[in-house]
Amino acid sequence: MPNQYDKILKENIASLILPLSDKYFGFKIAKTEEIKDKLQTTIEREPDFLRIIETDLGERFILQLDFQTKDEADMLLRMQEYHALLVRKHKLQVRQFVLYFGRQEATMQTQFVPTEVYTGFQLLQWYGQPYTEILQSEVPEEVVLAILANFEQDLPAQAIQKILNRLYAISHDEMAFNKYVRQITVLSRMHGISTITLKQIDDMLQEVSFDLDYKTEEEMLNDGWYVLGKNTGIEEGIAQKEREDIIKFLKKGKLTPEDIADTLEIPLEKVLQIKQEAGI
């Protein structure tokens, strides 16, 4: 997924996880705990023996042998890691044997119980979700995703207008609404409706009680914010736009630096740095 789309989804996921799990994943969350460690694609050591085997019966597979002198409790999990990496790289069946040379009887687990076996994942095709149901949400980050859902019987222009109106109704202030408008202008390019989206934003300027702060398609082309849907200049444009927003709201004096950092979900130190650089 291109960086600009991925950035928006990651930015919003903390607010999205509760409605997504309740409505689409089939479970209710009572408590969450963040996992801060990044998943690694390498493991600490290489297999002891690894070969591609062809048998006299025409079978072809990877044979992995591992030699152990200790009765390691996590051996099954380690072998599972090897298995996943080997299948992903070579697209072959893998057969694994652990040769244990310890004197004591081995107690290590060698097979997963049924609930531990990986059998696949559930696919949620977002374009199949009716956007009118998403519009009923009170969570703006979820409503933003309506731009990528099924518009049902509505024309894109009608659907986008309803999405904007809903975001306006549930956004708690001008800064938040501006953020969501910028997000849908980016996400709309995934389905090739950015021009229609920008037209609807222009039309909305005549009705809302505060100014929308976004770039028109012509402005984005002129300043390199995006070029025909490619990534050229996008991250730089987003950073510059974020800086302009911070300066604008600092000058208005209605929000404290803490409020601005909380709304834009950026470090307070960044707001204070820009405040100092701008001499506000």
Q: What is the pLDDT of residue 20?
A: 86
DSSP-based three-state secondary structure for 211: coil
Q: What is the mean pLDDT of each run of 10 residues along the chain (280 residues)?
A: 73 85 83 66 74 89 91 93 91 92 93 91 90 95 95 92 92 86 87 83 64 48 40 51 79 76 76 86
User: By CB neighbour count within 10 A (0-12 exposed, 13-18 middle, 19+ buried), where does 94 fall?
Assistant: middle
Domain match, 19 and 102 both: no
Domain match, 95 and 162 both: no
Tokens describing residue 273: 């740095």
Q: What is the pLDDT of residue 261?
A: 77
Domain match, 149 and 273 both: yes
Domain match, 186 and 70 both: no
Q: What is the pLDDT of residue 38?
A: 62
Report if residue 213 sits inside a domain.
Answer: yes
Domain match, 76 and 184 both: no
Give the integer Cα–Cα distance in Å for 183 and 179: 6
Report if residue 237 sits inside a domain.
Answer: yes
Q: What is the pLDDT of residue 258?
A: 80
Report if residue 33 sits inside a domain.
Answer: no
Q: What is the pLDDT of residue 76?
A: 95
Report if residue 42 sits inside a domain.
Answer: no
Single pTM value for the model: 0.63
Give the integer Cα–Cα distance in Å for 91 and 273: 51
Report if residue 163 sits inside a domain.
Answer: yes
Q: What is the pLDDT of residue 8?
A: 85
Q: What is the pLDDT of residue 130?
A: 95
CB neighbours of residue 161 within 10 Å:
19
Domain count of the fold of the chain: 2
Domain match, 76 and 186 both: no
Look up the domain containing 152 and give its range: 3-26+128-278
Q: What is the pLDDT of residue 230?
A: 38
